[in-house]
């Protein structure tokens, strides 16, 4: 019963109401005692520590709100300054025997491929809920499941270098130790290959590197923004983590020590999901900008766009900022962005020739995204297709504007984004280097979903179930999240079922 309540995120008060209706359910007090018993048992194996984040400013202005519930936002802000920590070695000691038993890890070839990921979830506009988690790449069939990302660091605050450096110090020490000395589990010494994957901001922050809008923007090569439009230039992964360890600013744009300095740069892998999301964002914003430039962005055009979105089952709206008078529009989720890429009818808002050009660009990008995730895609073929797509993106205009025969091109080098550079020049390299896993194995969708679900449920649960006063509740949600993760490990380790058969009555005649 405890597992069912955990899996379905049913908190104490709703369960009490269920018990009042169905008398055969275990009483809430008995369930709470069993949950506490599991918590205490797991705390001996995988202790949970509360750590001070220790930075001056833990509240900032986020780009957009992922979670808008005002009560949850305030609860997270109240918890700022404290973080939760679980030791990666303790987690591995618990996980590895089961993975051996399932045939996922081989004790005769004792190497574990460990992926580290991070995510910062915007809670309101002032604070983030930051999570750092690990996953076992060898367990390939579970990499899309949020419960198979094991949280090591959890804190509400800023997703910045100082905060991460402080709170991750023991974690980074343990990773370095795993890389250099391995870990003995049941008399077997395991070696480790380490990988890191996240969205661009988290990756650049952990690398001690510039933001994506800087002149030197690429974490892997030395390109500058002025060189983006040169299609004759080849850019490969040329930076070396050891150079940055020796001198933090060895390459332009780098200013601070990489936090994961034990991981080579060709194992810092871009998230294929964010490649799709951010490039799709750019393609859509370029379309809207073109409508505005041509003077077509009026009430009629906005209604047409909203209606077309409805046809492909997307809820979409425009609204005007009261102060700046700038037009804003609905931020779409990943699946909706893919629908727009594939099915939005551009001929409804653009001349047919122009719509055909842009539709061709969108279609070819969608094809690239599908190929990027497909493990059988050949890296060299992808590289050529990506370069051809960039050539199409940069199609120049022909003739003189406003004269007969003028053919408007598509976009300029200034319209490129860092993710377009990575798509064209580095994704094929990562395909080759990590062919064993495929880029889909480094998708961040699992950890992002995990972070969102945990913030939405546990901070709301803390308020509903009562936290025993503000001081106690500041760290209660963080502790509950990590206790919940410990219990999930317990359920999987002990094969606790999610259902059971009702007992059958047998009448024995005497």
* Helix count and strand count (H, E) for the chain: 19, 10
Question: What confidence tens digit (pLDDT) does each residue in 100-144 have?
Answer: 999 999 999 999 999 999 998 877 556 788 999 999 999 999 998
| Banded model confidence at residue 508, pLDDT cuts 50, 70, 90 | low
Nearest to 389 by CA among 417, 428, 363, 415: 363
**Model pLDDT, residue 501:** 57
Cα 364 vs. chain centroid, distance in angstroms?
25
**Model pLDDT, residue 510:** 55
Q: Phi and psi at residue 483, in whole multiples of 5°?
A: -65, -40
The average pLDDT across 168-197 equals 97
What token pair was written down for 187?
């008399």
Question: What confidence tens digit (pLDDT) does each residue in 492-504 have?
Answer: 888 777 665 555 5
The residue assigned the tokens 């709470």 is 32
380 contacts: CB under 8 Å, gap ≥ 6: 428
**Model pLDDT, residue 40:** 92
| Banded model confidence at residue 54, pLDDT cuts 50, 70, 90 | low
Comparing 58 with 319, the larger pLDDT belongs to: 319
- Whether 158 contacts 47, CB under 8 Å: no
Spell out a b/e string for 31-47, using b for 16 or more CB atoms within 10 Å of the CB, else e: beeebeebbeebeeebe
What token pair was written down for 191?
């070696």
| Banded model confidence at residue 29, pLDDT cuts 50, 70, 90 | confident
**Model pLDDT, residue 167:** 92
Question: What confidence tens digit (pLDDT) does each residue in 300-322 have?
Answer: 999 999 999 999 999 999 999 88
| CA atoms of 311 and 329, how far apart (whole Å) | 17
SS3 368: helix
Question: What confidence tens digit (pLDDT) does each residue in 319-366 have?
Answer: 998 888 899 999 898 899 999 999 999 999 999 999 999 999 999 999
């Amino acid at each position: 019963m405890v597992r069912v309540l955990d899996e379905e995120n049913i908190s104490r008060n709703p369960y009490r109401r269920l018990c009042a209706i169905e008398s055969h359910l275990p009483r809430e007090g008995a369930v709470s005692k069993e949950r506490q018993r599991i918590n205490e048992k797991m705390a001996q194996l995988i202790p949970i520590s509360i750590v001070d984040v220790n930075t001056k400013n833990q509240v900032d202005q986020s780009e957009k709100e992922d979670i808008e519930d005002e009560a949850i936002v305030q609860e997270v802000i109240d918890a700022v300054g404290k973080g939760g920590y679980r030791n990666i070695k303790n987690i591995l000691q618990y996980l590895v025997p089961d993975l051996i038993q399932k045939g996922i890890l081989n004790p005769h070839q004792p190497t574990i491929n460990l992926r580290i990921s991070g995510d910062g979830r915007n809670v309101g506009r002032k604070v983030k809920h930051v999570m750092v988690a690990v996953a076992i790449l060898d367990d390939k069939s579970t990499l899309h499941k949020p419960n198979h990302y094991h949280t090591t660091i959890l804190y509400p605050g800023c997703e910045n270098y100082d905060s991460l450096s402080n709170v991750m110090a023991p974690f980074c020490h343990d990773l370095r130790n795993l890389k250099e000395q391995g870990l003995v589990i049941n008399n077997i010494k395991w070696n480790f290959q380490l990988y890191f994957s996240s969205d661009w901001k988290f990756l650049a922050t952990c690398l001690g590197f510039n933001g994506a809008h800087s002149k030197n923007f690429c974490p892997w090569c030395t390109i500058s923004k002025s060189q983006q439009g040169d299609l004759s230039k080849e850019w490969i992964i040329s930076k070396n983590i050891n150079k940055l360890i020796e001198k933090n600013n060895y390459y332009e744009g780098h200013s601070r020590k990489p936090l994961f300095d034990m991981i080579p740069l060709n194992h810092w892998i871009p998230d294929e999901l964010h490649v799709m999301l951010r490039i799709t964002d750019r393609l859509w914003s370029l379309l809207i900008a073109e409508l505005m430039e041509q003077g077509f962005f009026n009430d009629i055009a906005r209604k047409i766009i909203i209606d077309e979105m409805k046809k492909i089952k997307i809820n979409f709206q425009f609204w005007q900022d009261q102060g700046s008078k700038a037009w804003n529009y609905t931020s779409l989720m990943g699946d909706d962005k893919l629908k727009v890429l594939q099915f939005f009818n551009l001929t409804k808002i653009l001349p047919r020739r122009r719509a055909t050009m842009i539709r061709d660009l969108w279609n070819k990008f969608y094809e690239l995204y599908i190929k990027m995730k497909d493990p059988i895609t050949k890296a060299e073929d992808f590289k050529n297709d990506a370069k051809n797509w960039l050539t199409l993106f940069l199609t120049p205009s022909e003739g003189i504007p406003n004269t007969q025969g003028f053919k408007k091109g598509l976009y300029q080098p200034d319209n490129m984004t860092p993710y377009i550079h990575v798509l064209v020049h580095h994704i094929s390299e990562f395909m080759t280097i990590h062919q064993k896993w495929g880029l889909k194995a480094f998708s961040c969708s699992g950890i992002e979903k995990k972070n969102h679900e945990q913030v939405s449920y546990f901070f709301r649960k803390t308020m509903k179930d009562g936290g025993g006063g503000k001081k106690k509740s500041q760290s209660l949600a963080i502790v509950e999240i990590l206790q919940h993760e410990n219990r999930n490990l317990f359920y999987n380790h002990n094969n606790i079922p999610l259902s059971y058969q009702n007992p059958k009555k047998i009448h024995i005649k005497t």
